[in-house]
Structure 1
């Protein structure tokens, strides 16, 4: 296959992957918005829903298309195109919710997309065959497990109007789990090829890596499902940001990766992070529903009169005794006979 044909095929597969991930995210968000039991029965009820398995299948299809795209095209092309998941999920989610995408949401999506592309463009991939050692893989897995537990332990806000910020901790944990799972997958591939740094792994070490990868994959999927309780756009943006960020941290810290721009790569990556963070903030505000009016503070307007607050049940008896206790209408006619006899006695 010619390089041009391979590039075109990589682009098409990347678009298919982005569409698969976007459809899966929309399905998960709709499932999270539906009424579901909480507590121990939540997972059982989730596994019994056919919509959940559709989301799992779409995620798997997106992952396979992404891997196939990496086979035909470079990571510098495929990874930024994967960020189009957010742009595709916004109109899909709005169409399913029967509403329009707001300007704030579009601005947030474009800023997040630009920041994400900047981060991916600044970090270069590791050399072929480079991977974590078994000791490094176990340390990374343990540290990631503690971090995910800390992020996922936060309670979801219950106040009205906070739906835009719900689940961002779960979304961050989901992206980190996926990014670490990718790094461990690279380690497992090197282990199966007997190219792992250090001595050759035995069968139980390879099996342990496979179990860790499965755990992070399933955990990331369940964490993203919990994140979508607070909406679609902002949690999806955080997942797409924290995934490559976690992989980049592992690459720079343990695999010898560097920023492409050298010394200038650090400030450029920081600026891209700030742009992406601004986009996430806009997404949390753009999709938040308007706060409902408090019925106690509403007014009843009568034509030709001033707005009058609606009467409350406790206030109804209060105005009734006032007209009965006022003596003015009764004393005025009674005082007239008393004045007339006094005036008649003066001439006499």
Structure 2
């Protein structure tokens, strides 16, 4: 029970770091990568993302991937009141409703999820296949998102998948080093995993940054839904985790997932409404007749 509490506390800290970073990134999402590197505050966002990633890796020592990843949706729950605070307004009823449904769904998932016990690791074949598959998938979605007039949600999905693969690779690294010692850091597969984590983290950050260019909430919601969903698939399929063991648990998990999804959708809608309300029209100067 102590490990579970520590894992949840770390996940909340991760969500706060990611939420603040997302708000900073959204304000500069219209800039190119070359322009972004010259924006000092963006380095704060990168630092917060790095801190969130470090805390996320630490949380993997205290809980399974399929439990930790769904709690990432808390990023959106925290981002909403932070966005309202920076806009000097109170959260709307729609925002509060969305947060309530999201928290209820996530709490249910956290209580229902069961695992096989000791965290598993990716085999060399699984690790290489996962990296290649991720590169192909993320590249295709990235190109789809760059088409003229394309939805920014393509890049949000790609970013969410890249982040989830980072988590799976981090779990393999943490468990491998924990079982075999620091010498494991020199193994070829371990080096490949570390390079992949760094690469996917950078790619995911750029993709999510671009996805915010037409608004924060919808892309952030999609990223935080895709991230735990794809991570859970990886955990169950490759890391030996067991999501549910009975039909009743499966049914309850589906209901909780629907509640969480509905809550996130409400939060995304509420963010769009709040942006529309809080951005006043540009005042027009009176035109004086020419004498």
SS in 2 for 1:287: helix
* Partner of residue 205 from structure 2, selected from 212, 221, 230: 221
**Given that residues 102 and 287 in structure 1 are in contact (C-alpha distance below 8 angstroms), is that contact kept between their aligned partners in structure 2?**
no
Which consecutive unaligned segments of at least 5 residues does structure 2 have? 280-291
Q: Does 1:179 align with 2:176?
A: no
Q: Does 1:16 align with 2:13?
A: yes
TM-aligned CA deviation for residue 192 of structure 1: 4.1
The residue that corresponds to 1:266 in the other structure is 250
Q: Does 1:95 align with 2:85?
A: yes
**Given that residues 145 and 155 in structure 2 are in contact (C-alpha distance below 8 angstroms), is that contact kept between their aligned partners in structure 1?**
no
Which consecutive unaligned segments of at least 5 residues does structure 1 have? 37-41, 160-164, 293-348
Distance change (3 Å), C-alpha of 1:156 and 1:208: closer
* Partner of residue 27 from structure 1, selected from 24, 28, 38: 24
TM-aligned CA deviation for residue 57 of structure 1: 0.8
**Given that residues 188 and 206 in structure 1 are in contact (C-alpha distance below 8 angstroms), is that contact kept between their aligned partners in structure 2?**
yes
The residue that corresponds to 1:279 in the other structure is 263
Question: Which of structures 1 and 2 has the bigger CA Rg?
Answer: 1
The residue that corresponds to 2:74 in the other structure is 84
* Partner of residue 236 from structure 1, selected from 220, 234, 249: 220
Q: Number of paired residues?
A: 273
The residue that corresponds to 1:253 in the other structure is 237
**Given that residues 166 and 230 in structure 1 are in contact (C-alpha distance below 8 angstroms), is that contact kept between their aligned partners in structure 2?**
no
* Partner of residue 152 from structure 2, selected from 164, 167, 174: 167
- Following the alignment from structure 1 to structure 2, what is the Cα–Cα distance between the partners of residues 101 and 168? 25
Name the structure with the higher helix share: 2
- Following the alignment from structure 2 to structure 1, what is the Cα–Cα distance between the partners of residues 185 and 47? 32
More RCO (CA 8 Å, sep 6+): 2
TM-score (norm 1): 0.66
User: Which runs of structure 2 are paired with 1:308-323 in the superposition (5 Å)?
Assistant: none
**Given that residues 18 and 84 in structure 1 are in contact (C-alpha distance below 8 angstroms), is that contact kept between their aligned partners in structure 2?**
yes
TM-aligned CA deviation for residue 202 of structure 1: 7.6
The 10-residue stretch of structure 1 (93-102 or 247-256) with the greater mean CA deviation from structure 2:
93-102
Q: CA RMSD in A?
A: 3.5
The residue that corresponds to 1:345 in the other structure is none
Distance change (3 Å), C-alpha of 1:23 and 1:251: same
